[in-house]
Amino acid sequence: MLERMFDPNGVAVIGASRKEGKVGRAVLENLMANGIENIVPVNPNDGEILGLRAYKGILDVPKEKKVDLAVIVIPAKFVPEAIDQCGRAGIANVVVISAGFKEAGVEGARLERECLEICQKYGVRMVGPNCLGIIDTGSGLNATFAANMAHKGNIALMSQSGAICTVALDWADRTNVGFSKFVSLGNKADLDENDFLEFFENDNSTAVISAYLEGVKNGPDFIKIAQSVTRSKPVIIVKSGRTSVGSRAVSSHTGTLAGSDAAYDAAFRQSGVIRADSLIEMLDLSRAFSAYPLPKGRNIAIVTNAGGLGILTADACSSAGLNIASFEESTINELRGTLPPAANLYDPVDVLGDASADVYAHALETVLADNNVDGIILLVSPQAMTEVTEIAEKIVDIIRDSEKPILCNLAGGTRVSEGEATLQKNGIPNYPSLERAVTSMDALCTYYSIKDRKHSSPQQISVDKSATDAIIKDAVSNKNRILGLESMDILSSYGIKVVDSRIVKTLPEAVGVSEEIGYPVVMKIVSSDISHKTDVGGIRLNLRHADDVERAYNSMMSDVHRYMPEARIAGVQVQKMVSGGKEVIIGMNRDPQFGPLLMFGLGGTYVEFLKDVSFSVAPVSTDEAKHMVSSIKTYPLIAGVRGEAPSDINSIIDALIRISQLVTDFPEILEFEINPLMVMQDGQGCVAMDVRFTIDVK
Amino acid sequence: MLERMFDPNGVAVIGASRKEGKVGRAVLENLMANGIENIVPVNPNDGEILGLRAYKGILDVPKEKKVDLAVIVIPAKFVPEAIDQCGRAGIANVVVISAGFKEAGVEGARLERECLEICQKYGVRMVGPNCLGIIDTGSGLNATFAANMAHKGNIALMSQSGAICTVALDWADRTNVGFSKFVSLGNKADLDENDFLEFFENDNSTAVISAYLEGVKNGPDFIKIAQSVTRSKPVIIVKSGRTSVGSRAVSSHTGTLAGSDAAYDAAFRQSGVIRADSLIEMLDLSRAFSAYPLPKGRNIAIVTNAGGLGILTADACSSAGLNIASFEESTINELRGTLPPAANLYDPVDVLGDASADVYAHALETVLADNNVDGIILLVSPQAMTEVTEIAEKIVDIIRDSEKPILCNLAGGTRVSEGEATLQKNGIPNYPSLERAVTSMDALCTYYSIKDRKHSSPQQISVDKSATDAIIKDAVSNKNRILGLESMDILSSYGIKVVDSRIVKTLPEAVGVSEEIGYPVVMKIVSSDISHKTDVGGIRLNLRHADDVERAYNSMMSDVHRYMPEARIAGVQVQKMVSGGKEVIIGMNRDPQFGPLLMFGLGGTYVEFLKDVSFSVAPVSTDEAKHMVSSIKTYPLIAGVRGEAPSDINSIIDALIRISQLVTDFPEILEFEINPLMVMQDGQGCVAMDVRFTIDVK
């Protein structure tokens, strides 16, 4: 569908200009410099522009120019009309470089909507508005006003910031990194990251997909598409706005802990996207994937002429969870036979400061042949006798022919620059620091397992959906934002066991209910004005007989009245006391981009002070629910430690899947939290002790 | 003392050579190239070397050559004799470049000791052996065989790896970063990091001190010296071996959690040293301190021509704990008057993609004048209209004259290289990524508070040292490595309250003791074969009367026999049960470099699974003990949350200070752990429930 966007027969530039310094001239020049055949300037003053025949309007351009793409660089207010004309002229693709749309305010946003509607009317696809343009190094299309043209390569890059496009292009120019396609997404009025992900998935010239994003437009689609794409091609994204606090009012732990970034972290992980921590890391990883085969494991050999760099690299590998390889006997023997006596023959291999290019090359080949080695980090320090350039020349062929990745760090400055250039000329990155080489190696190893992961879809469990439906409809029609005890019924209808619990209004009722459900019981104050019951003395535990209940009832009422005289008391909740379990918490917060974001953690202080929780975007598969449970740091506390019986982890996983289904079934549920879910010993299930639903009542 | 080492009147090269490729020639050439007047080659074949009169031996060199420094580059086995001759000739300083000493094995180590003894005999000070040499850009001394000479500057750098010296020099050559002194420490047989720290402290040409270290030779001295130096000059150290597990057998949480690196982290923090995470970070921070004044606070302004880079920088600032500045009204008005309407006037200031050098400069000056701004990060992306080089030229003077740091990131590659060169030519760093600029800014801000910190010395508390002395002497003479109940007496003698506790051998005794100390009681099995009592059923809690004690005694004995039939049972400990407190843990592990390393954390699962603990090298001051307590993540749990009464934190601090004094007084205590120390409500103190001492019995 988008093939012609990148490989058009003819390109029109609407707003082409002769004037130096004008964007309309820069675009035209860029197109002309890179071998597109039919380039058609469109300008109210027709005649010739830069030697090309110009036309007054796009409708005046003859059919034989086969214009498939129009690049629009005219003031915003004229753009809708221009797109309309493109539509009428049968041009299926437009790139709107012009600014002055949504980013500029209300009138701009209206214009942008108008453009989109016109596109949709004619089936025209649009990149932008407010973008730098697009590049295809295969077809030779440079429909941008950038000062650099991309080099040819296999990385497809898209960016929500035009300026960051220019940074990336300029960086790539200096490091000789090549791109297949280059897209400045602009305001993403029509085409967005999802469209291009899909397109790049099937684009033969693309092996690696990278992006700078400030957000995704459609979260659920993004996950679906990225899950598929990452099975065949690595996707590396740097997303900004990581630490912005966001302004949503939140009333649960889930909301507070999630912030604005946890959903992205979860969504990227769930869809196999590699999240880069910075722009430079995104570029570093992209060039690693572009240049190297994937390692088959995480056992890394280090070859160095400087012991100190070797130790630092081993440190960095260890921090990244990469293993220092244990060499085969034959490797060590071969190294012993060829390296000087003071050399270190074990990983990290130190070939010593006076190693010649031949010594380096031989050590590299020896280590490369070792079956216990999955990848190599090669370090060169520019010591007095070191022939950095010769070393670089010697190893280029080894690296190029290798089925294992060999990542290089020629460390230093002036004296390694020629060697660096040698590597880069041959399409081999030189990482400016050992840490960047290690981070890139880690990404290669990680993607090897992402690529081969099993796919497990969320299963549908049979539940009593209609019961919940009725409760929620009722809440919506009564504008009842926070649910009361009916929350427990929702859980029950989705097959989650809840504690036996009643709400009472008087002491005699409290005693009666206690006798009925059986001692010991717990009492909790019920009031929509009180969020933290403990703080006001609103919870009494372990009541063993009627006298206990009476004493507790009276003192609780007086405490609550004392602490919060204004609170409206709806009653007292009497619950069966459950003991011997572990408290966990399951929450859900609706993320603006990705929808229902589930949270799991151990209850109480673990959640509050240690933020030891995990997040996943619902719906979750069984594997994903398992991951949620096992990825918290306090997992050993429920898995069983020190001879203690393990908790019923399967019942937590089951509850997570049911909650996942519930919040997917009912978008009206805005926030949700079971706190605590009491998990009993293995085989004995779990039971929800308290739950809080916030319903979207509009 | 070391002044003449770096600024000698004359320098002898023992082992000077005419042969190309020989280290002895490279050293001579380096010395000659940099303006030292009296250079004296020493070589068994006298005559002339590179035009200089050579001598057979150092004793043949005439007095008027005023040789203050001898650089030794002869085979290891001849070095002791050469040093001896230097001593006899009255030469006070030697730099031993030759390798083949401790690093090469037993014979080398012997030679190294011999060299040191000769040095000490004559009062000769030695750098090395096995090093690259030393540089002083002030005196023009280049006594190394490095291929690069350092540029003049104010950074003193020392490195335990010669190869890393060459990397740093080569990097600095490309980035135009200058050094005052440059020292390759080598094997540190005589002079080590502590000597040079002290020397650099008083060296007027040095403003910044940096080091690559693999370890420190004398930990306690290092802390004392660094504490003083960091009050006047920033000290930045990258230490390798961060993640190596170490091979010591450890039997406590403290030991396991400390690993080999926690002591370095604590010692660096306690002495005000800034620890860099990587070599490149060490260099980045060094050039920041070298080039910029210190910011007076953490409020940072960002000026950019690319919104995306601005967001990424704000993210990075926020992660680093830097604040995005709130501008004064006047700043915003001034920006509004001079920037285009679409520009962002609030921090991060976006001057837009077509900003000229003048616009950039004006925005920078406006923000700089704002009283709410402590430092600025300046970002430039190479957009189509961006005149990167002109911008660089325009801002050089502003940056140089500014009393606030302005850190730059010209982002890109080819098109920013000239601007980068312009900055660097003027001694201004260009950070290759915004993250590196932010990390450097963070270090500047952090050092501002390190420099001004109050000094508080550990106080001496009056304790009954003789009681402990007797117990430990007794343990040593009886080869009693693990102390029993007498551990509690040690704590008591140091003023730490311990739980009432007795060891019994029979059930009647257990009941008798229980009656005596008062119910409820706790019983614990006593056996040096059992480390984890819980695992074998060796602990019974909350025994409320004689029947409870009887039942518990019998079942505990049968459980322990079942789980560990081989364990030798020394008896049963009967303790007063203490409830209502919070369990914390205080431990100590003796670090090979720094000595007693204290650990503090919350008891139980917090320590084991969350590793939420803090470390300090003893002796600790009150401030340091406070820091230990308040720096754990779970601190709110003892500080009081949700209306819960705070724990008696002062009593924990007091206990830490007493323990600090104990382990400082008695180096025989190898390991130590109170687990748990039960902390009661504020004002009610704390009480040690269990303690374990490991004594060095040789």
Give pLDDT tens digits for B332-345: 999 999 999 888 89
Whether chain B has a CB inside 8 Å of the CB on A531: the answer is: no
Identify all chain A residues contacting B432, using CB atoms and an 8 Å cutoff. Answer: 280, 432
B263-318 pLDDT, tens digit each: 999 999 999 999 999 999 999 999 999 999 999 999 999 999 998 899 899 989 98
Identify all chain B residues contacting A146, using CB atoms and an 8 Å cutoff. Answer: 384
Whether chain B has a CB inside 8 Å of the CB on A207: the answer is: no
* B387-393: average pLDDT: 96
Give how far the C-alpha of residue B471 lies from the chain's centroid of Cα atoms, to the nearest Å: 35
Stated length of chain B: 698
Predicted local distance difference test score (pLDDT) of residue A253: 45
- State the smallest CA–CA distance between residue B592 and chain A in angstroms: 20
Identify all chain A residues contacting B278, using CB atoms and an 8 Å cutoff. Answer: 312, 316, 433-435
Identify all chain B residues contacting A435, using CB atoms and an 8 Å cutoff. Answer: 277-278, 280
Could you give the C-alpha distances from B151 to A105, B156, B291, in angstroms and in order?
52, 12, 14
pLDDT > 90 fraction of chain B, expressed in percent and rounded: 75
Whether chain B has a CB inside 8 Å of the CB on A411: the answer is: yes
Could you give the C-alpha distances from B355 to A249, B385, B430, in angstroms and in order?
38, 8, 20
Q: Domain A146-275: what homologous superfamily? A: Succinyl-CoA synthetase domains (3.40.50.261)
Predicted local distance difference test score (pLDDT) of residue A260: 66
Whether chain B has a CB inside 8 Å of the CB on A22: the answer is: no
B40-80 pLDDT, tens digit each: 999 988 789 999 999 999 999 999 999 999 999 999 999 99
Q: Reduced to 3 DSSP states, what percent helix, strand and coil does chain A have, rounded to the nearest 5?
A: 40, 25, 35
Contact (Cβ atoms closer than 8 angstroms) between residue A374 and residue A296: yes
The reply to whether residue A433 touches residue B26, judged by beta carbons under 8 angstroms, is: no
pTM (2 d.p.): 0.91
Distance, in Å, from the CA atom of B681 to the CA atom of A589, rounded to the nearest integer, reads 37
| Whole-number CA gyration radius for chain B | 32
Identify all chain B residues contacting A76, using CB atoms and an 8 Å cutoff. Answer: none
Whether chain B has a CB inside 8 Å of the CB on A278: the answer is: yes
Identify all chain B residues contacting A414, using CB atoms and an 8 Å cutoff. Answer: 148, 170, 173-174
* B252-268: average pLDDT: 70
Q: Which of B26, B103, B433 sits opposite A278 (nearest CB)?
A: B433
Q: Which of B240, B353, B535 sits opposite A642 (nearest CB)?
A: B535
The reply to whether residue A311 touches residue B174, judged by beta carbons under 8 angstroms, is: no
Nearest to A411 by CA among A430, A395, A393: A430
The reply to whether residue B311 touches residue A241, judged by beta carbons under 8 angstroms, is: yes
Whether chain A has a CB inside 8 Å of the CB on B33: the answer is: no
Identify all chain B residues contacting A305, using CB atoms and an 8 Å cutoff. Answer: 163
- Nearest residue on chain B to A610, alpha-carbon basis: B633
Q: Which of B307, B384, B634 sits opposite A147 (nearest CB)?
A: B384
DSSP sequence for B575-604:
EE---SSEEEEEEEEEETTTEEEEEEEETT
Identify all chain A residues contacting B169, using CB atoms and an 8 Å cutoff. Answer: 412
Stated length of chain A: 698
Q: Which of B212, B314, B609 sits opposite A637 (nearest CB)?
A: B609
The reply to whether residue B308 touches residue A435, judged by beta carbons under 8 angstroms, is: no
B321's torsion region: left (phi>0), alpha (psi -120 to 50) or beta? Answer: left
Residues 6+ apart with CB under 8 A from B48: B54
The reply to whether residue A306 touches residue B145, judged by beta carbons under 8 angstroms, is: no
Which of B22, B167, B347, B536 to mutate against chain A (most A CBs within 10 Å)? B167
Decide which of A141 and B34 is more confident: A141
Residues 6+ apart with CB under 8 A from B116: B126, B189, B190
- State the smallest CA–CA distance between residue A159 and chain B in angstroms: 10
DSSP symbol at B154: E
Whether chain B has a CB inside 8 Å of the CB on A567: the answer is: no
Q: Which of residues 140-199 of B touch A (CB under 8 A)?
A: 145-148, 159-164, 166-167, 169-175
Sign of torsion over alpha carbons B232, B233, B239, B243:
positive
Structure tokens belonging to residue A606: 């673990």
Structure tokens belonging to residue B101: 């000493």
Nearest to B363 by CA among B428, B303, B403, B300: B303
- State the smallest CA–CA distance between residue A174 and chain B in angstroms: 5
Whether chain A has a CB inside 8 Å of the CB on B5: the answer is: no
Distance, in Å, from the CA atom of A230 to the CA atom of A225, rounded to the nearest integer, reads 9
Distance, in Å, from the CA atom of A173 to the CA atom of B412, rounded to the nearest integer, reads 9
Distance, in Å, from the CA atom of B587 to the CA atom of A8, rounded to the nearest integer, reads 72
* B239-252: average pLDDT: 51
Nearest to B425 by CA among B208, B174, B170, B181: B174
Predicted local distance difference test score (pLDDT) of residue A485: 79
Contact (Cβ atoms closer than 8 angstroms) between residue A36 and residue A141: yes
Q: Which of B26, B242, B612 sits opposite A315 (nearest CB)?
A: B242
Q: Which of B242, B311, B342 sits opposite A240 (nearest CB)?
A: B311
Q: Please name the residue that has the structure tokens 């572990």.
A: A582
Q: Which of A169, A173, A636 sits opposite B609 (nearest CB)?
A: A636
Q: How many beta-carbon pairs below 8 A join chains A and B?
A: 234
Distance, in Å, from the CA atom of B411 to the CA atom of A163, rounded to the nearest integer, reads 10
Type of residue numbered B67: V
Residue range(s) in chain A whose domain bears CATH number 3.40.50.261: 146-275, 295-450
Whether chain A has a CB inside 8 Å of the CB on B315: the answer is: yes
- State the smallest CA–CA distance between residue B522 and chain A in angstroms: 20
| Whole-number CA gyration radius for chain A | 32
Q: Domain B1-130: what homologous superfamily? A: NAD(P)-binding Rossmann-like Domain (3.40.50.720)
Distance, in Å, from the CA atom of B272 to the CA atom of A538, rounded to the nearest integer, reads 48
3-class secondary structure, A479: coil
Q: Please name the residue that has the structure tokens 């390296």.
A: A339
Could you give the C-alpha distances from B304 to A142, B311, B360, in angstroms and in order?
26, 10, 8
Burial class (CB in 10 A: 0-12, 13-18, 19+), A371: exposed
Predicted local distance difference test score (pLDDT) of residue B605: 64
**CATH number given to B500-577:** 3.30.1490.20
A206-259 pLDDT, tens digit each: 999 999 998 898 999 999 999 999 999 999 999 987 665 332 333 344 444 555
Predicted local distance difference test score (pLDDT) of residue B685: 94
| Secondary structure tally for chain A: helices H, strands E | 24, 29
Counting Cα atoms < 13 Å in the Cβ hemisphere of B121 gives 14
- State the smallest CA–CA distance between residue B85 and chain A in angstroms: 29
Q: Which of residues 354-393 of B touch A (CB under 8 A)?
A: 381-385
The reply to whether residue A174 touches residue B608, judged by beta carbons under 8 angstroms, is: no
Nearest to A195 by CA among A117, A132, A126: A126
B491-539 pLDDT, tens digit each: 999 999 999 888 899 999 999 999 999 999 999 998 878 877 777 888 8
Residues in chain A with pLDDT < 70? 242-260, 604-609, 642-643
Quick check: B381 pLDDT over 90? yes
The reply to whether residue B634 touches residue A240, judged by beta carbons under 8 angstroms, is: no
* B475-494: average pLDDT: 90
The reply to whether residue B159 touches residue A353, judged by beta carbons under 8 angstroms, is: no
Predicted local distance difference test score (pLDDT) of residue B243: 62
Predicted local distance difference test score (pLDDT) of residue B253: 45
Torsion angle (degrees, nearest 10) of CA B15, B18, B22, B26: 90
Identify all chain A residues contacting B99, using CB atoms and an 8 Å cutoff. Answer: 342
Whether the link from the prior residue into B667 is cis, omega within 30° of 0, is no
Topology at the third CATH level for domain B582-695: D-amino Acid Aminotransferase; Chain A, domain 1 (3.30.470)
- The class (CATH top level) of A295-450 is alpha beta
Element (H, E) at B480: none
The reply to whether residue B634 touches residue A605, judged by beta carbons under 8 angstroms, is: yes
Identify all chain B residues contacting A160, using CB atoms and an 8 Å cutoff. Answer: 308
- State the smallest CA–CA distance between residue A342 and chain B in angstroms: 7
Could you give the C-alpha distances from A441 to A52, A226, A236, A375, in angstroms and in order?
49, 22, 14, 8
Whether chain A has a CB inside 8 Å of the CB on B609: the answer is: yes
A688's torsion region: left (phi>0), alpha (psi -120 to 50) or beta? Answer: beta
- State the smallest CA–CA distance between residue B500 and chain A in angstroms: 27
What mean pLDDT value characterizes chain A? 91
Residue range(s) in chain A whose domain bears CATH number 3.30.1490.20: 500-577
Whether chain A has a CB inside 8 Å of the CB on B322: the answer is: no
Distance, in Å, from the CA atom of B88 to the CA atom of B599, rounded to the nearest integer, reads 51
Whether chain A has a CB inside 8 Å of the CB on B76: the answer is: no
Q: Please name the residue that has the structure tokens 């690993």.
A: B259
The reply to whether residue B146 touches residue A384, judged by beta carbons under 8 angstroms, is: yes
